[in-house]
Amino acid sequence: MFVFFSFGLFSLVAQSNEITVSGTVIESGTNMPVEFATILIADSSTKKAKAGATTNENGKFNLTTTASNFYIEISFIGFTTQTITDFIIENNGIDLGTVTLSENTAELDEVVVQAEKSQTVFKLDKRVFNVGTDLSSTGASTLEILNNVPSVNVNIEGQISLRGSTGVQILINGKPSVLASEESNALGSITADMLEKIEVITNPSAKYDASGTSGIINIVLKKSEKKGLNGSVTLNTGIPNNHSIGLSLNRRTEKFNLFSQIGYGRRTFPRESETASLDKSTGTTLTTIGDSDKNEKFFNIILGTDYHINDLNVITLSGHYAFEDETEHAFQNYDFTDDTQMLTDAWNRNELTTATNPKWEYELQYKKDFKGTKDHNLLFSALGTSFGKDKISNFTNTTTVGTIENSLQEAHTEFVQNEYTFKLDYTHPFAKKYKLEVGAQYVIDDVNNDYEVRDFENNVWQTNTDYSNVFDYNQGVLGLYTTFAFEEEKWGVKGGLRIEDTNLKTILANTNEKNNQKYTNLFPSFHTSYKLTDDVSLQAGYSKRIFRPRLWSLNPFVSFRDNFNLSTGNPNLNPEFTDSFEITSIFKFNGGSLNLGVYHRATEDVIEHITTFEDNVTISKPSNIGTNNATGIELNAKYTPISWLTFTTDFNYNTFKRKGLFESNNFDFSGNRWSSKLTGKIKLPADFTVEATGGYRSKYKNVQSEVTDNLFMNIGVRKKMMKGRLNASLSVRDVFASRNRESITDQVNFYKTSFSQRGRFITLGLSFGFGKGEAMEFSGQKRF
């Protein structure tokens, strides 16, 4: 009884000596609450902590202490610490009221300098490439940045492939967009300083769009939500003619977050090409040598706002406008020789092309978070995109040898594409280990392409009906999905099912040729992971994918730029279907990590371009040619042997077996291809960083041709100044001008070689960050 009495008396005395300290912490200038600020009560003599707490989401705090001689310290990263020694105790309480913290610029800059992200992060079903650590991308376009992403390749024509396959679905912020389509040539209008990260999803779950037999590349744009007024300015200049300026601004208040990005520039893209076609039946050869300079002025702007209705509900409204004004001069020289290699005919073809390309994107998004459970939310978005092209090309054919008559031609394109995406996603975690996802998506794609070619005959422009028509394309895809996941500390599993209904209609208006397709398909997916140790993990996945023929593959118009090297679409194409399997292991070790995986893809109704040859004219047309089975191995590694030196590498090898029959021709063959990339980054004194990337892509076969190998190198240098507020970067892409494309086609009746290259690009970039905005590591350039 005595012990309990003594303890109770002691507790009463202690309680009577308790002092409650309370208040609210806000940010100077914006008066926004500072969440997670640290409140410390320390002994005035020993400076030792006696009690502590952090502020809540409203900036409020409340804590108690029994100390008698103390001071109060309030701090948060990036702000000047407040030390309070003068306070009044009333009724065992101290009310500090509102405490204002001011930004500590020096401290904030130190955090920015040191908190550099890892370049590539591996997750269960995707890899995330954090834009901003790759120095050689200074002044680069989005497509050029993709060339530095593991497993991704963009050839000189701008065609994207993943693990050697071109069946890739490109998303922007997780949704289909005209701005990411090949038809709009628009990825270049998304400047590099607008990118947050690039996600590579080789085996997507059922939550994602089923398009893309080789996987999905998701381009995530930046949207700052830092409090107050923040931003950055970027400036680029380079050789060949490459000049641009960009501005990023963000203003965050308690209810609104306003964000914008603006870019303007002009640049030139040179190109050299050479082809030679031998007619084996006659021995005649046609050689073409050409060069061109494409000059562009471009402008793009993103404007948007988040309205925080309350802590659980947010509405976002955003718009993106891009405009390009193009002028291109091209010159081609044709030499025609007989079977004795004697020149019989020669002529020049001069081209002047002008085009305007307006692009629009607008989105309304609503997100609702639910109380009690993290990641329990409902997300709805309505996205509209539009792309237009008004293009006029004038051709002058001048004979220099032989009797071919001089001629004039022109081509006019009026192209309009509208795409609308409606998406609803619901995520519900429960019981800590389980997660349910359900959702729906409807995508409408509507295109009108009016194409007319005219010949100047008898002093009158006459329409060439063989090359002129109006092509209408309309596709609607409805998708429904559900996934269910279980995850504990060492083991996780996720399964899902997606159903997609496709309705496609095309028509050639002038000739009333119609093609309608309607099909419904199921797309299951399965992923699992197991953590053997803290440093060793295993992952496995399966998904079924579809590759729907894209617009230009269906469009039967014949290209008219080169009369002897033509290409056309095929409105009767069927979609490809792929079963994709993958097993990956992840190893972490002192100073680095290693990702090693094997994969297998089985594809039906493979789409290939078949080239036919007649009278020295080659025509390329896509067709469904049999099946393809590809098995490969992939390795990604990062190693930092010492603090100032880092190596990253990417290696991919696959072997494939083709089976196909087309118009009584057997297209069975097998082959392999591999690619490798090595990057070294060195941090030097005085805040200098140097980075060099070398890459190699082996030769490989396709249905009719062999594409030669390719070796290239990029170099970048960066200097940080003003504690990271100002960055200066120099990049040299394709240092030795060796990144080209060369193919050889050897068939029964003809032999053809083709070569093209872009050359070296040198760019100097400057970036300055203000407010809490960080200086960009590089800034933007448009694609080819």
* Judgement on whether residues 98 and 237 belong to the same structural domain of the protein: no
Distance (Å, whole) CA 610 – CA 630: 21
Asked whether residue 164 carries a pLDDT value surpassing 80, the answer given is no
* Of 149-158, 335-344, 563-572, 623-632, minimum mean pLDDT range: 149-158
Q: In terms of residue numbers, what domain contains 99? A: 2-103
Residue 476 lies in a domain: yes
* Judgement on whether residues 87 and 236 belong to the same structural domain of the protein: no
Q: How far is CA 650 from CA 156, 595, 654, 674, 695, in A?
A: 20, 9, 14, 11, 9
Q: Which CATH number characterizes residue 394's domain?
A: 2.40.170.20
State how many domains the chain has. 2
Residue 113 lies in a domain: no
Mean pLDDT of the chain: 82
Neighbours of 548 (CB within 10 A): 24
Summarised one tens digit per residue, pLDDT across range 388-406 is 999 999 999 999 999 888 9
Confidence grade of residue 187 (pLDDT, cut at 50, 70, 90) = low
- Residues sharing a CB contact under 8 Å with residue 31, sequence separation 6 or more, in sequence order: none
Residue 178 lies in a domain: no
* Judgement on whether residues 313 and 462 belong to the same structural domain of the protein: yes
* Judgement on whether residues 246 and 97 belong to the same structural domain of the protein: no
Residue 167 lies in a domain: no
240 cis-preceded (ω within 30 degrees of 0): yes
* Judgement on whether residues 236 and 99 belong to the same structural domain of the protein: no
Q: Closest by alpha carbon to 113, among 725, 647, 693, 754?
A: 725
Residue 198 lies in a domain: no
* Judgement on whether residues 535 and 680 belong to the same structural domain of the protein: yes
Q: Closest by alpha carbon to 241, among 267, 275, 270?
A: 267
Which of 54, 82, 103 represents a domain boundary (last residue)?
Answer: 103
Which residues lie across from 429 on neighbouring strands? 435
DSSP 376-406: -EEEEEEEEEEEEEEEEEEEEEEEEESSPPP
Confidence grade of residue 143 (pLDDT, cut at 50, 70, 90) = low
Which of 48, 83, 103 represents a domain boundary (last residue)?
Answer: 103
Distance (Å, whole) CA 127 – CA 695: 20
* Judgement on whether residues 97 and 242 belong to the same structural domain of the protein: no
299 vs 132, more confident: 299
Confidence grade of residue 751 (pLDDT, cut at 50, 70, 90) = very high
The model's pTM = 0.73
Residue 627 lies in a domain: yes
Q: Which CATH number characterizes residue 10's domain?
A: 2.60.40.10
Q: How far is CA 476 from CA 213, 379, 647, in A?
A: 19, 22, 46
Q: How far is CA 685 from CA 132, 477, 718, 740, in A?
A: 20, 55, 12, 36
Residue 388 contacts residue 355 (beta carbons within 8 Å): no
Structure tokens given for 490 = 């060492």
What's the confidence (pLDDT) of residue 631? 96
87 vs 381, more confident: 381
Which of 103, 133, 164 represents a domain boundary (last residue)?
Answer: 103
Residue 124 lies in a domain: no
Residue 492 lies in a domain: yes
Residue 456 contacts residue 407 (beta carbons within 8 Å): yes
